[in-house]
């Protein structure tokens, strides 16, 4: 099933739309200019005031209408020192924003002709911009859960909510929280201790929220922190009891795991956080159809230095 067909028209950017809108590098540059300097109006260092700028023929730059000094919309962005064309960058971001499960560097290599190494580096750079280090969940009904990512491809039998042995070094503990019908947050955890889980709750979840978790012992004490804590007894085969469940966050975990297993095959611990950031970024903008592409571009501009 092609999920894109379910995207409402105003949130849809088909591949054909993308190709029409960005036929060449110039169109991409113009788009970037409008994002960073709407109508070409930008501060001119030399004049010391805000001025209108115009496109310089033959160069990826815009010049001040008054003094001619030049600025580039790529300055300070991940595009600046890249020899890869702007359009290929845009296309990589388009693909990233159009999938649910992720997109592989291999696919970009196949479709654009850049080397695998370049494709991989592009994705890594884009991903590195998608983090939300200061994000705090605003909903007051939150599910919190931990999971283990990575490890051997051979799947030993596990209970549905089975926990691998914590000393399995090939698995990385990830802890996350999600607002019901809202946003998600997920991070790589050093361990599955109370201190770690409580720390995540304190940083990300509003005081006095209702938190749903399973029976993992490291959630004990959330009540003492001022939360209303409700647990679901997975070990007793109970998964939903009224509104007490952790199905939302588990849905997110399965999305991440399916992506990592199916698209990326494996992700080292070192880069796992950036993958979590990518999945969270998309999940938190799932009502934007595949215009997530433009959110990614906006992020690139916001993080320009």
Contact between 69 and 44 under an 8 Å Cβ cutoff? The reply is yes
Contact 144, 184 (CB under 8 A): no
Any contact of residue 110 with Zn ion (CB under 5 A)? no
Strand partners, 205: 137
Q: Check residue 44 for interaction with Zn ion (CB under 5 A).
A: yes
* Nearest one of 185, 192, 186, 142 to 171, comparing CA atoms: 192
Interface stretch with Zn ion, choices 59-67, 121-129, 186-194, 247-255 (CB under 5 A): 59-67
> Residue 46 or residue 223: which is nearer to Zn ion going by CB?
46
The distance in angstroms from the start CA to the end CA of the chain is 41
In the complex, least distance from residue 47 CB atom to Zn ion, rounded to whole angstroms: 3
CB of 36 vs Zn ion, minimal distance in Å: 17
Q: Which is nearer to Zn ion, 70 or 244 (CB)?
A: 70
CB 75 within 8 A of CB 301: no
Q: Does 64 bind Zn ion (CB under 5 A)?
A: yes
d(CA 174, CA 186): 7
Q: Quick check: 67 binds Zn ion (CB under 5 A)?
A: yes
CA 55 to CA 25: how far, in whole Å? 13
Using the rule CB under 5 A, is 54 a contact of Zn ion? no
Residue window 224-243: x/- pattern of binding to Zn ion, with contact defined by CB under 5 A: --------------------
189 binds Zn ion (CB under 5 A): no
Shorter beta-carbon distance to Zn ion: residue 17 or 45: 45
- Of 24, 66, 243, 254, the one binding Zn ion (CB under 5 A) is 66
CB–CB of 234/165 below 8 Å? no
Binding site for Zn ion (CB under 5 A): 44, 46-47, 64, 66-67, 69
């Amino acid at each position: 099933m092609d999920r894109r067909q379910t995207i409402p028209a105003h949130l849809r950017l088909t591949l054909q739309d993308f190709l029409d809108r960005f036929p060449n590098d110039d169109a991409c540059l113009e788009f970037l200019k409008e994002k960073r300097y709407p109508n070409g109006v930008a501060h001119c260092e030399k004049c010391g005031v805000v001025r209108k700028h115009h496109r310089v023929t033959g160069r990826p730059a815009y010049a001040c209408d008054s003094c001619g000094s030049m600025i580039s919309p790529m300055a300070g962005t991940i595009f600046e020192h890249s020899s890869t064309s702007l359009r290929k960058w845009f296309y990589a971001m388009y693909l990233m924003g159009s999938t649910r499960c992720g997109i592989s560097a291999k696919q970009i290599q196949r479709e654009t002709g850049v080397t695998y190494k370049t494709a991989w580096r592009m994705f890594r750079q884009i991903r590195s911009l998608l983090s939300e280090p200061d994000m705090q969940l605003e909903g007051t009904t939150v599910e919190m859960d931990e999971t283990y990512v990575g490890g051997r491809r051979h799947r030993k039998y596990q209970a549905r909510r089975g926990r691998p042995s914590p000393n399995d070094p090939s698995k990385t503990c990830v802890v996350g929280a999600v607002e019901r019908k809202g946003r998600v947050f997920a991070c790589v955890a050093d361990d599955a201790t109370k201190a770690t889980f409580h720390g995540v709750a304190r940083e990300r979840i509003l005081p006095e929220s209702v938190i749903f978790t399973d029976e993992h012992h490291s959630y004990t004490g959330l009540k003492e922190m001022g939360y209303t804590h409700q647990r679901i007894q997975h070990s007793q085969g109970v998964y939903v009891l009224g509104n007490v469940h952790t199905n939302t966050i588990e849905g997110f975990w399965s999305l991440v795991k399916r992506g990592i297993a199916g698209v990326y095959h494996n992700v080292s611990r070192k880069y796992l956080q950036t993958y979590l950031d990518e999945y969270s970024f998309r999940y938190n903008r799932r009502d934007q159809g595949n215009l997530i592409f433009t959110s990614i571009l906006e992020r690139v501009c916001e993080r320009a230095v």
